[in-house]
Amino acid sequence: MENQLPIRKIIHVDMDAFYASVEQLDFPELRGKALAVGGNEVRGVVSAASYEARAFGVHSAMSGAMAKRLCRELIFVPPRFDRYREVSLKIREVFYDYTDLVEPLSLDEAYLDVTENKKGNPSATLIASEIRERIFKQTGLRCSAGISINKFVAKIASDFHKPNGQKTVEPDEVIPFLEDLDIRKFYGVGKVTAQKMYQLGVFTGLDLKKKSIEFLTEHFGKSGTLYYNVVRGIHNSPVKPNRVPKTVGAERTFSENLSSEVFMLERLEPLSKELEQRLRKNKVAGKTVTLKIKYSDFSLQTRSKTLDFYISDKSLILDTAKELLYQEKLQNSVRLLGISLGNLNADAPQTLTVPEKSLSVQLKFKF
């Protein structure tokens, strides 16, 4: 055994069809029906789909028109993010009863480090069961959980018995679990990457493990090192309670396509204001402004500019976004515009500022 790595007890909790489940909870007439949150049968994009809708192939990020074609009985409802945040805060209160090491990934999922926990319970598996039951009793919503020695494996495991289930991958099961895993189930491997791996003869974790780090970095760049490590059970990223977002953004899908930059300029100002508010709420500023443009044919284009100083003021964001808008001609009419700020500095004030190997585990460690 080359390295003696710290063994953590990590739980990944993932709410089941969260937005759709909240709608079905609040409106009993929607229960048991195919439901899409966001979009409509003419335009717009689905934000979330109930499990009844998923049975027809409807999923998030799908156009509303396509979703309706797949499921003629589909019901569309507008998202209510204030309500989702309200429920999310109740769920997090349950998490904090067990540990302060909680890393929210979004409103509906989070990592918990329960290696040392407030209940003094040595079993992460039992803690996960208890948390899931408490969430149901206090909110009426179901969730799934994955439990293992690191965030990567816990994240994968939480998807295995959805909905309303959990899976524990014990320390001595991690390597066999990863070796048997279809490469498409590896967290972070999307359709494009999976297809590339197929072309390279990589179909399972075991296939991936047979590839050298030189081979993987040659074909996948920095991600190659990640793939080399995680398939060996090495993922040392701790649960970060105060996780700083990598980007903060705001975007809008329009009821009618925009055909001219003149109309888009009118939309950029409220987006810049909303982005400023989100930056102040997160207490961050950033250097890289990105303009996101989705055309009527659903093709996507991004244009970015990195400044020499941190910004969070809407006027500076707007000025840069305008510059990016006129950077090149539009390819088509536009259905969505978004502005985001990246290259963030968690310590930057909220005004303009000028710059200055192989897995080793203790097999008796019970989950």
Q: Which residue numbers are catalytic?
A: 109
Exposure pattern of 3-37 as b/e (b: 16+ CB <10 Å)? eebebbbbbbbbbbbbbbbbbbeeeeebeeebbbb
Q: How many CB atoms lie within 10 A of CB 323?
A: 13
**What is the three-class DSSP state of 143?**
strand
Annotate 284-322 with DSSP letters as a single string.
Answer: -EEEEEEEEEEETTS-EEEEEEEEEEEE--HHHHHHHHH
Half-sphere exposure in the Cβ direction for 326 (13 Å, CA): 8
Rounded to 5°, the CA angle 298-344-111 comes to: 80
What separation, in Å, do the N-terminal and C-terminal C-alpha atoms of the chain show?
Answer: 21
Q: In this structure, what token pair is assigned to residue 323?
A: 């510059």
Alpha-carbon gap, residue 240 to 247, rounded angstroms: 17
Question: Which residue intervals of 140-260 are DSSP H helices?
Answer: 151-157, 174-180, 191-199, 205-209, 213-220, 222-230
Residues belonging to the chain = 367
State the amino acid at position 171 in one-letter form.
Answer: P
Burial class for 102, CB neighbours closer than 10 Å (0-12, 13-18, 19+): buried
Q: List, edge to edge, every strand of the sheet that includes 248-258.
A: 248-258, 334-345, 285-295, 300-311
Q: Provide φ and ψ at 139, rounded to 5°.
A: -125, -20
